[in-house]
Homo-oligomer: A and B are copies of this chain.
């Protein structure tokens, strides 16, 4: 497949220029010059065929030649809320893979059993941007800051709400895929290495989150989170 480099310019269309990092990449790495054509996305659903007006490593101004609506390959809004693992690498690959597969937002939960109680989202955001560009998507997932579990439950949330946990006896909980709505809108909560506490599950249920299973294999936190995204994306895919 011919690779067309996709630039991320969240300011488009109002602010028709590449962010510093993208400008540096265009000029220093790709050696692009004024007058050359490039493809950019605003990460909110549009691609822009542009011409470089000025090319400096600090800023590249663009002329928008054509706006192309980017297609989302799934219905509705897919949101993942996960308690970050102690090992940050595992969250970073989760962010990359979930972005490739396709989701709308990743949220981080601070739970009672969380081993990681601080999280800098800058790196995750960078990885999500890179994966959005690499997988040629016009929709960049949003990356939310670490939020205490109780506070997250107070947020309106999106569509059908589910909490995946391992506290119930095997086979007792319905399988997420069977309950997901075809229209896509869904949010799934994934707990920390030590899982959610019974109190957290109760609070989530009181807030409208339905307890579900991700199947009978025992999965690590980041694997459970990716499986949840894959199941949401599969149920909501546009054939």
- Interface residue ranges, A against B (CB under 8 Å): 1, 71, 73, 93, 97, 100-102, 134-137, 166-167, 175, 177, 195, 215-220, 223, 226-227, 230-231, 233-234, 237-239
Contacts and interface: CB of A to CB of B under 8 A. Distances in A.
- Give chain A's interface secondary structure class: loop
A136 B218 contact: yes
Contacts of A102: 217
Contact of A1 (B135, B166, B231, B233): B166
Nearest to A224: B100
A101 B230 CA distance: 12
B73 A137 contact: no
Contacts of A175: 237, 239
A73 B215 contact: yes
A223 B101 contact: yes
A175 B167 CA distance: 35
Which of A215, A220, A231 has the most B CB atoms < 10 Å from its CB? A215
Given A135-B217, A215-B73, A234-B177, A1 B101 contact: no
